[in-house]
Chains A and B, each alone.
Chain A
Amino acid sequence: MAGLLVLVFALSLLVGRYPGPMLLSPERFANDELAQRLVWNLRLPRLLTAVMLGMSLSAAGMVLQMILGNPLVEPGFLGVSQGAAFGAAFSIIFLGSAAWLVQGAAVLFAFLGLALSYSLAHRARLGGWVLRLVLAGIAVSALFSAGVGVLKYIADPLRQLPEITFWLLGGLWSITWAQVRSVAPVVLISLYVMYRMRWRLNLLSLDDATAFSLGVAPGRERALALTAAVAATAAMVSVSGMVGWIGLIMPHIARRWFGADARHALPAAMLMGGLFAVVCDDMARTLLAGEIPIGILTSLIGALFFIGMLMTRNIRAER
């Protein structure tokens, strides 16, 4: 799987619309200085971002599914993604569109979204904990979406609106080395934390009393895993916009192919997520003359896959 990712990654460096559509031949690459600059300054940071994006969303999706004991959640379900988008839009309109400001606001509001979902779930008076959390997440997401709608309405249609629209559709066309450098530390640390905790995640998927009887501190360890998942998601959303479905679909495929034990399923989901994001981004920049927002592609493919999964195999969701 890792080998496949490296191979596709290398191949993707040569795929694009320069000099002609599709593949850039290796000889041409060796001789053409413009091609070298293009690959180095545009495609490489973009592909690295795609890999980090896919890995972060998949890992975060799996972590959320495991610590909530519910195979049907993903980062977008808890107000995290919508919070980040709202933060970004808010910053673009009221604070300015400097990269660090927009990203900072996105991360801040992502955590705020999660905190709101969590505290709302605590106060809700309906159903079990997981159901309450998912419902609270839907409500908070809707609030932030409405907020984004208001912000779009008051945004300057020439300057600010295009920037905001970018957030909502998701895309990697503007990625520069500076952005890669700005998110890489947070993302890599978060991915490492989730990777190291992977066996622990199995324990956290059990009921609290059982987890406690196994020497686990369920509250604290869940909070740590959750923080890593949200930090990685928020950081990636802050540069790539909202990209849906990867966090829901990849963990499912990983579990089906490699078993439910997160010792194997988590690394597999990360690699597959990276692979999927790179392939989607390849399609985003080559299929049409213009760029297709990657969020549209992941949603399209992800939703189709999900429908297929719903019809071929019963998804286990209790509570």
Chain B
Amino acid sequence: MSVSLLAFDQISFGYPPNGKTVLRALSLEIEPGTVTAILGPNGAGKTTLLHLALGWLAPQSGQVRLNGRPLSHYSRRELGHWIALVPQSERIPFEYSIMEYVLLGRAPYLAPLDMPGAEDCRIGAQVIEQVGLSHLNGRAITTLSGGERQLALIARALAQQPRLLLLDEPTSHLDLANKVRLLKLMQELAARGVTLLLTTHEPDVAAAIATHLVLMRDGQVYQTGPLPQVFTAEHLSATYNVTVKVTQVDGQRIALWT
């Protein structure tokens, strides 16, 4: 039996100080090479789950394993080689150029007082090219549009050369053209063998790119499995507690509500 890339084993978690439970005995496995979308209502614990996968939050009970090894056995820098995060919205208080910002993604490969060198700049230029921002190279990141900025965040994460990319609502705030651009990029990354784990509020985004789907409800996994089996009217309706219909257009599933 192959080892899961990422495994949540009976995870419970609550935020201090009152420790209100966000996740309750949650178990989930992410296989290498998959694109997994997490759907669920606000407050279901989606972002918390990503932060646990990152090691930024530690579960109160249970264990997160990366490639079969408990997360706590990895050093921070090692984790930075494996997992990268594209946060939902990144506050960037200073006017870094795109390259300066993307180079920050090389930090896990540098000793604490080292600075990025020629090889890091080469990788930086390569990922900027890959996300399609080369033409904006000298621009300050604070002057970019929402869609371009999201691409820059992804480029910074790709500079980490991660095996697992976590994306927290990557398409929120994006217009249709930018959304399509981003989904194409994510498909390319998946084709190159990067495992993707994303949260989203849009069932159609999940249907467009995910191979696997996780439906969360009340801090637990309600349904999980290959997309065609989970993306059903019954399951989506139960997840959001509204009536959802599922139809197909040109082979792609779409969720409709009434």
Check A214–B105 contact: CB distance below 8 A. yes
**Residue among B54, B79, B83, B94 making CB contact with A205, cutoff 8 Å:** B94
User: CA–CA, A213 to B114, complex, Å?
Assistant: 18
Q: Is A199 an interface residue (CB 8 A)?
A: yes
Interface centre among B90, B104, B108, B112 (most CB of A within 10 A): B104
Residues of B within 8 A of A214 (CB): 80, 104-105, 107-108, 160
The reply to whether B93 and A215 contact each other, CB–CB distance below 8 Å, is no
Assuming the contacts A214-B80, A215-B107, asked whether A206 and B90 have C-beta atoms less than 8 A apart, the reply is: yes
Which chain A residue lies CB-closest to B55? A212
Which chain A residues numbered 18 to 34 have a C-beta less than 8 Å away from chain B?
none
Nearest CB in chain A: distance from B86 CB, A: 9
- Chain B's closest residue to A216 (CB) is B107
A260 close to chain B: CB less than 8 A: yes
A259 touches B87 (CB 8 A): no
Within 8 A of A (CB), among B56-113: 56, 75-77, 79-80, 83-85, 87, 90-97, 100, 104-105, 107-108, 112-113
Cβ B100 vs Cβ A261 within 8 A: yes
Residue ID in chain A nearest B160 by CB atoms: A214
Q: Of B51, B90, B92, which is in contact with the most chain A CB atoms at under 10 Å from its CB?
A: B92
Q: Are B95 and A255 in contact (CB under 8 A)?
A: yes
Q: How far is the CA of A71 from the CA of B91 in the complex (A)?
A: 13
Inter-chain CA distance A207–B47, complex, in Å, is 15
Contacts of A66 in B (CB 8 A): 94
Distance, CA A37 to CA B226, complexed state (A): 85
**A197 contacts the other chain (CB 8 A):** yes
Q: How far is the CA of A232 from the CA of B54 in the complex (A)?
A: 36
Most chain B C-beta atoms within 10 Å of own C-beta, residue among A199, A217, A259: A199
A241 near B: Cβ within 8 Å?
Answer: no
9 contacts between A and B (CB under 8 A): A71-B93, A202-B104, A205-B92, A209-B54, A209-B87, A213-B80, A215-B108, A318-B91, A318-B93
Q: A199-B114, A209-B51 are in contact. List 4 more A-B contacts (CB 8 A).
A: A205-B93, A207-B90, A207-B91, A208-B56
Interface residues of chain A, those whose CB is within 8 Å of chain B, are: 66, 69-71, 196-197, 199-200, 202-203, 205-210, 212-217, 255, 259-261, 263, 316-319
Measured CB to CB, the residues of B under 8 A from A are 51, 54-56, 75-77, 79-80, 83-85, 87, 90-97, 100, 104-105, 107-108, 112-116, 140, 142, 160
